[in-house]
Amino acid sequence: MSKPDILLIGPYPEWDLLELEAQYNVRKLYEAEDRDAFVQDHADGIRAIATRGELGAPAELIGRLPKLEIVSVYGVGYDAVNLDACRARGIRVTNTPDVLTNDVADLGVAMMLLQSRGMIGAETWVKDGSWGTKGLYPLKRRVWGRKVGVLGLGRIGFEVAKRLKGFDMDIAYSDVSAKPYAEGLTFIADPVELARHSDFLFVTLAASAATRHIVSKDVIEALGPDGMLINISRASNIDEDALLDALEAGALGSAALDVFEGEPKLNPRFLKLDNVLVQPHHASGTIETRKAMGKLVRDNLAAHFAGAALPTPVI
| Chain contacts with ligand 8YV (rule: CB under 6 A) | 52-54, 74-77, 100, 281, 284
Between 146 and 234, CB nearer to ligand 8YV: 234
Say which of 234, 290, 298, 304 is annotated catalytic: 234
CA gyration radius, the chain: 21
* Residues facing 215 on adjacent strands: 238
Q: How far apart are CA 45 and CA 236, in angstroms?
A: 33
Between 53 and 157, CB nearer to ligand 8YV: 53
Q: Are 228 and 199 in contact (CB under 8 A)?
A: yes
Q: Is 269 a catalytic residue?
A: no
Say which of 19, 21, 193, 263 is annotated catalytic: 263
Q: How far apart are CA 218 and CA 238, in angstroms?
A: 11
The distance of closest approach from Cβ of residue 231 to ligand 8YV in the complex, given in angstroms and rounded to an integer, is: 12
Q: Are 117 and 143 in contact (CB under 8 A)?
A: yes
Between 75 and 157, CB nearer to ligand 8YV: 75
Q: Are 254 and 230 in contact (CB under 8 A)?
A: no
SS3 124: helix
The distance of closest approach from Cβ of residue 16 to ligand 8YV in the complex, given in angstroms and rounded to an integer, is: 11
The distance of closest approach from Cβ of residue 284 to ligand 8YV in the complex, given in angstroms and rounded to an integer, is: 4
Distance of CA 227 to the CA centre of its chain: 21
Q: Label residue 183 exposed, middle or buried (CB < 10 Å: 0-12, 13-18, 19+).
A: exposed
Q: Which residue minimizes CB distance to ligand 8YV?
A: 75
N-to-C CA span, the chain: 28
Q: What are phi and psi of 50, to 5 degrees?
A: -110, 125
Q: Is 263 a catalytic residue?
A: yes
The distance of closest approach from Cβ of residue 83 to ligand 8YV in the complex, given in angstroms and rounded to an integer, is: 14
Say which of 281, 290, 298, 304 is annotated catalytic: 281
- Among candidate residues 175, 143, 145, 135, the one with its CA nearest the CA of residue 158: 175
Between 75 and 118, CB nearer to ligand 8YV: 75
Q: Is 281 a catalytic residue?
A: yes
The distance of closest approach from Cβ of residue 30 to ligand 8YV in the complex, given in angstroms and rounded to an integer, is: 12
Q: How far apart are CA 201 and CA 223, in angstroms?
A: 8
Between 11 and 63, CB nearer to ligand 8YV: 11
Residues taking part in catalysis: 234, 263, 281
